[in-house]
Structures are given as structure tokens and as C-alpha cells.
Amino acid sequence: MITANTFQHSNSAKQIDSFRNFIWNFYAQHQRPFAWRNVEDPYLVVVSEIMLQQTQTYRVEPKFDAFIAAFPDFQSLADASQRDVLSAWQGLGYNRRGMFLHKIAQKVVAEFDGTLPSDPEILVSFPGIGKATAASICAFAFNRPTVFIETNIRTVFIHSFFKDRDDVHDNELIPLIQQVLDQGNPREWYYALMDYGVYLKKMLPNPSRKSRHHTKQSKFEGSDRQIRGMIVRLLADHGAVTKKKLFSTIDRDAERVEKIAQQLITEGLISIDGNKFFM
């Protein structure tokens, strides 16, 4: 296999073709079918990309289908209430993403006549969309040759070019990703890279640990994240509850629950009126 050093000093077409052929051959035999792949509707791509942030595909698949059934396009999502959106979002975690997706739809409808912009420089101005997500949306929705990195792509390039390193920075990977990018078919090229990355993670012991950006996810049980999710789920189900009901239903330290509820209010996920929390 070619190395990072080889690419840095001799960017031959033969070496690039060798890596591409390997990835394409793997993809031909092991590609994963998903409802959000090879679609013409950018809306489906946006929903999937926001859902896939920090959530594995096996959890996203059933929620994606149900969400699209409830909100089939930007207009229907924009018109929905935040409570309905977050109710449909339950089970995915990180509820701010559901709120961001709702606001994205509203921005597309209000400012772009319902048509998603194909320019990543515009997309980064949308709620919840950073540079990597903007680039991935453009690659998958519009087949534009943008450059981005995510966990599975990171795994592929570290495994392929930095086998003997344990502190690889993304800044070292981006130039390689750009060099080997299939300019004619970036959409499927990224599908192929991600599918190979998933395969590597099954075959190798925690390959992500070789990245300088690797952090071990904190325990969910008993965490603030868990309590946040419990509060949002309760209000999504009931619309409004008294403080007494909130504290009795979420059997945790009341001061901690109230502090987390106040954070959710600040973020715009829930509201308060008198002694009632509501959505």
C-alpha cells in the first residue's frame, strides 16, 4: 500500500490510481445500501447528514424512514411545530440536532424559496452545519468534489498511510483526501471510503485511537446527556408539565434537573412559564 510519505514526495497518477482501484473494488463487493444514498432530493441528504452526526447508521435507518414519512420535504418540516419535530426525533439523542434540522428547513423555505443552496460557503451559515457537514451535503446532494473528513474516512487514511503512528492530526489527512478524491464521482467515492472504514473498524481493534482527535465517549447512564433526553422526551410527550411533575418523573437530584432544564431553556429546546415547563 502507498504511504503518506510517497504522496508527499511523488504524486504519481499510478499511485493515486492504485489506491482508488483498491477502494472501488472493495465498494463493488461490499457497498451498503441506505435510503439516503444516490438520491436526487437534497432534503433527504440533509436529514440523513444531521441524523448521522454522532449516531450510528443502524440507529438512524428506522428513524430516518419514520421522519421522512412524517415530514417528506423542507416545507412540511418548516411548517411543523418544534414539539412535533422533537417527538419524531426521539431515539436519536442529541436533541439540539432535531431543533437545528427544523431551523434549517425554515431557513431554506424563508430565504431560498425551498431550494437548498449547493454552495458550502452558504451552508455553513445554517444552524447546526459546520464546514465538514456543509461539504458532505454538497458532495452527496449535488455530487460536488468537496473535501471533508469524518470518522470512517479518518480510519481509512490512518490505516492506509499512517500504520506506525498514534498521533495523526486531521491536517495531515486532508491533503491526502484531496489528492485521491475522484473528481468525476465524489458522491460514490465517499460512500466507498466510508464503507471501507466501517469494515476496518470491525476488523481492527479501535483504529480511531490513532487519531490525535480521538476522545473516549463519556458514560451515558447517569449523565447530563441522559437527563437532557429525559426532559425533552417528557415534554415532547406531554407538551407541558409542572416543576413538581418534572422532578417527580425524572428521579434525579432536583437541583441538577432544574439546572439542566435551565440549559435547555437557554438553548431554545424548551420554555418556561410560571411553574410550568413546556415545548
Residue with cell 440536532: 97
Burial of 243 (0-12, 13-18, 19+ CB in 10 A): middle
SS3 125: coil
Catalytic residue among 49, 61, 188, 258: 49
Burial of 264 (0-12, 13-18, 19+ CB in 10 A): buried
Comparing CA positions, the residue from 201, 196, 203, 199 lying closest to residue 214 is: 201
Is 49 among the catalytic positions? yes
Q: State which H helix or E strand residue 242 sits in.
A: strand 240-242
Cα–Cα distance, 137 to 144 (Å, whole number): 9
Contact call for residues 62 and 96 (beta carbons, < 8 A): no
Provide the H-helix boundaries in 96-206. 96-112, 120-123, 131-142, 151-161, 170-180, 186-203
Active site residues: 49
